[in-house]
Amino acid sequence: MNFPESVYSDEPTRVQQLVSEFLSGQSGADVGADGLDVLLTAGADAKDDCAVYDIGSPMTLVVGSDYIRGPKFILHEMGLLSDFDIGYYLAAANISDIAAMGATPIGLLSVIRYPHELDDSGFRQVMAGIHQACTDFGTLNVGGDIGNAERLILAGTALGVCRPGKVLRRDGARPGDLLCVTGVCGLLGAAVAYFPKRDSFAGRIPADVEQRLLDSWKRPRARVAEGRVLSRLPYATSCQDTSDGLKATIEQIMQASNVGFRVIEQDVPVDPAVRMVAELMNVEPLALTMSASSDFHLAFTIAADDLPACRADFTEQGLDFHVIGEATEKGGAQAVHNGNSRPLPGVAWKHQKSDISLLAAGPPEA
């Protein structure tokens, strides 16, 4: 069988190919939503140094930046994730931060630094992943920086807008507010806990479950629609995405809002795949669910009186969420089961740590 020969173009050639393949036709696009007047006057196709937006109506601009290439991509190093997959993840990670603020994304700036060993096909796959994620989340990759480095390095900056006074923050939770999460957490953390050590376990999970774990990394979803619903009134008194894991997210909201939390253990959804991995690892399923895992769900608090209306708005949009606890006066974050309390189980992501698989697999805290 004959395979096409690898091609290694220089940076200007790659940029030119990129513009024609993924970035054409941007300039002049209306990128606002919900009646917000935002026109992308000069996009990446204009080939200027910066993207240019004309902003006509009163609004709040939200900007977030995230570097995502690191030890969490051990699955890429193992060949289980493609260059397309990590490009997609880059966009999702940055747009998720915008979604958690209740904003509508209007553009993504991406930084792609690549080694000489990455040929044109691999480079194009990274860019294709970014492009596809931006398309899926209703925005555009409007430029950034491309060049050489000693290894593949990915970073991004997402831009979003919302109406004045509607931005969601971490510091608004009040005692009595309900604690909610938009979905089941722990899948991505379970994947990086399982695959690097798969051969050391006494058994293996079924092939379809393995694929489900990998798929959670291949197409993670930034919760843009959920964030916009939460900011509309706004419903959410506080909000944050779960990119550091559910435990870390709850603790960060707690600290920012100066409250405590009671998490009802039986109300925290646990995915069957996470449960299978936890059993192989001999760790508590709830601990793995709450440990370091870049799931990009939204954890938020809401006044109890607003729950029926908020749930109705979610249902109307085909969305859902789980109520898993409530905010309390000070007292830390506690997990409650049958009247007994303990600190939240699991291991929170700490940026000074280097091995996310060890973090996710760590023993529950006493």
Which domain, by its residues, includes 356?
A: 178-361
DSSP-derived 3-state class of residue 74: helix
309 with 340, same domain?
A: yes
Bridge partners for 325 per DSSP: 179, 263
- Token pair, residue 298, equals 């939204």
Number of domains the chain contains: 2
Q: Which of 105, 129, 162 is the endpoint of a domain?
A: 162
- Residue 267: phi, psi to the nearest 5? -90, -10
Residue 356 lies in a domain: yes
Full pLDDT tens readout for the chain, 366 residues: 566 778 888 766 776 776 677 777 788 888 877 788 899 988 888 877 777 888 988 999 999 998 876 555 889 989 999 999 999 999 999 999 999 999 999 999 999 999 999 999 999 999 999 999 999 999 999 989 999 998 889 999 999 999 999 999 999 999 999 999 999 999 999 999 999 999 999 889 999 999 999 999 999 999 999 999 999 888 999 999 999 899 999 999 999 999 999 999 999 999 999 999 999 999 999 999 999 899 999 999 999 999 999 999 999 999 999 999 999 998 799 999 998 999 999 987 765 454 545 555 444 443
Measuring CA to CA, which residue among 92, 110, 101 is closest to residue 18? 110
Q: Alpha carbon 360 to chain centroid distance?
A: 17
Q: How many C-beta atoms surround the C-beta of residue 233 within 10 A?
A: 13
Going by the DSSP 8-state scheme, the letter that residue 45 receives in this structure is G
Shared-domain flag, residues 348 and 200: yes
199 and 338 together in one domain = yes
Residues 196-243 have pLDDT tens digits of 999 999 889 999 999 999 999 999 999 999 999 999 888 999 999 999
* Structural domain includes residue 173: no
- CA distance linking residue 283 with residue 346, whole number of Å: 9
Q: For 143-185, how does the pLDDT look when each residue is reduced to its tens digit (9 = 90+)?
A: 899 999 988 899 999 999 999 999 999 999 999 999 999 999 9
- Rounded to an integer, what distance in angstroms lies between the CA atom of residue 187 and that of residue 213? 6
Q: Is residue 68 part of a domain?
A: yes
- Do 320 and 236 lie in one domain? The reply is yes
For residue 323, the domain's CATH number is 3.90.650.10
Specify whether 205 is located in the same domain as 353.
yes
CB 333 within 8 A of CB 299: no
Distance CA(360)–CA(86), nearest Å, equals: 20
Considering 136, 162, 188, which residue would you say is the last residue of a domain?
A: 162
167 domain residue, yes or no: no
Q: What is the pTM of this model?
A: 0.88
Instruction: Give the whole-angstrom CA distance, residue 140 versus residue 146.
Output: 17
DSSP β-bridge partners for residue 112: 146, 154
